[in-house]
Amino acid sequence: MAKKPLRIGIIGYGFMGRAHSNAYAKVGHFFDSDYQVVLQAACARNEDAVKSFAARWGYRSVETDWRKLLKRDDIDVVDICTPNNTHAEIAIAAAKAGKAILCEKPLGLNAPEAEKMVAAVAKAKVPNMVWYNYRRCPAVVLAKNLIDEGKLGKIFHYRANFLQDWTINPDLPQGGAALWRLDVKAAGSGVTGDLLAHCIDTALWLNVGIKNVTAMTETFIKERVHQETGKKQKVGIDDACAFLCRFKNGSLGLFESTRYARGHKALYTLEINGENMSLRWDLHDLHRLQVFDHRDEGRVRGWRSVHVSDGDQPYMKNWWVPGLQIGYEHSFVHQVADFLQGLQSGKAARPDFKDGLATDYVVDAVLASAKNGQWQNVKQVK
């Protein structure tokens, strides 16, 4: 049977533009689907750069204005891989144009923006998904399966870190290409919306919703030259954030993120402690899940390092042979595969925009608490 073409229009050719394009290129080779992904158009403002990106990745055409891309009737899916301050405007317009939308995280610059995005896709009834790709690492999915099967018993603790060290230099400017993450107007926040958003999404998925939070943030470098004005300007983002929270199931959460942990480049770790079992995962060893099962015979009880590469482990039967691991980029391939499967089955893949909003509510509560020094209740998605 001929496959249905699904024509992608991608906006942004940076880090995520490449990660997503790689996923589109690979998905059909490894996962069955009724759909054939077609790289229809790449869009970014710099014509030469977007042409060269399109040529390298095999996109059939280019646009330099995303509004033009949305007007085209040969685009089925709009993939938003641009800085955070552009997500809402593009996604709301894409929904109005009747396009399916794959949006990078965090969903909005803040929760009020994300609420409008959720309303727009609900009104237009268009498929939507947010790229919280760590949900698609096989070892993290294995953790999810063990938790859902009740193997851990009652959950007591959830803790996560996301540590980097790339902004310690005070001479690093803020704003503009490559450094938009340091400009609060483009990013919305610092590590909270950038890195902790990932940790929060995984926690909401693996554990349960968060009731309330108390947080502290710090901006270590108070002023940086802005690349667009050439002037020293106040830094509005949080360089570091730590927060405590209570989950709805009574468990306690502890989260930390910084770009000032010298020696750490992208150390995302999570641990969940239940009455019977604890699980631990580390992005630097992403194909392994550490498992401690208290029900093991005492003489041999200890932490097991499970190499997640066997055919009965999540996603792995689609790849190589048992014992051969996969990596970071595969999480994006899995996300596209699940999106296609969702379209085919009518049971939409998640995280969708509502899930993205749930994370944005936590991010906003964390930032509010850091500002006013009070515990904050987290708004819940209706």
| Interacting residue ranges for ligand NAD, rule: CB under 6 A | 11-17, 43-45, 66, 81-84, 86, 104-105, 131, 133, 178, 194
By C-beta, is 6 or 187 nearer to ligand NAD?
187
| Contact in structure between 66 and 41 (CB atoms under 8 Å) | no
Three-state DSSP at 252 gives strand
Q: Residue 102 pairs with which residues in a beta bridge? A: 79, 129
Q: What residues contact 260, with CB distance under 8 A and at least 6 apart?
A: 165, 167, 168, 220, 239, 240
Contact 90, 82 (CB under 8 A): yes
With respect to ligand NAD, which residue has the nearer C-beta, 80 or 340? 80
CB of 21 to ligand NAD, least distance (A): 11
Residues 360/107, Cβ–Cβ less than 8 Å: yes
With respect to ligand NAD, which residue has the nearer C-beta, 4 or 56? 56
Q: How far is the CB of 173 from ligand NAD (least distance, A)?
A: 14
Measured from the CB of residue 106, what is the shortest distance to ligand NAD in angstroms? 6
CB 112 within 8 A of CB 362: no
- Choose between 16 and 160: whose C-beta lies nearer to ligand NAD: 16
Q: Is the separation of the CB atoms in 381 and 352 below 8 Å?
A: no
Contact by Cβ (8 Å): 40, 9? yes
Min separation Cβ 296 and ligand NAD, Å: 35
Please tell me the distance from the alpha carbon of residue 208 to that of residue 69, in angstroms, as a whole number: 38
> By C-beta, is 107 or 215 nearer to ligand NAD?
107
* Minimum distance from residue 341 beta carbon to ligand NAD (Å): 19
Residue 75: count of CB within 10 angstroms of its CB: 24
CB of 115 to ligand NAD, least distance (A): 18
Q: Among residues 118 and 277, whose Cβ is nearest to ligand NAD?
A: 118
In the complex with ligand NAD, the residue whose CB is nearer, 46 or 374, is 46
3-state secondary structure 38-78: EEEEEECCCHHHHHHHHHHHCCCEEECCHHHHHHCCCCCEE
E-assigned strands of the chain? 4-11, 35-43, 61-63, 77-80, 100-103, 128-130, 155-163, 210-218, 223-225, 232-234, 240-247, 252-258, 267-274, 277-282, 288-293, 303-307, 376-377
Measured from the CB of residue 167, what is the shortest distance to ligand NAD in angstroms?
Answer: 14
Q: Cβ-closest residue to ligand NAD?
A: 14
**Nearer to ligand NAD (CB atom), residue 13 or residue 35:** 13
CB 250, min distance to ligand NAD, A: 30
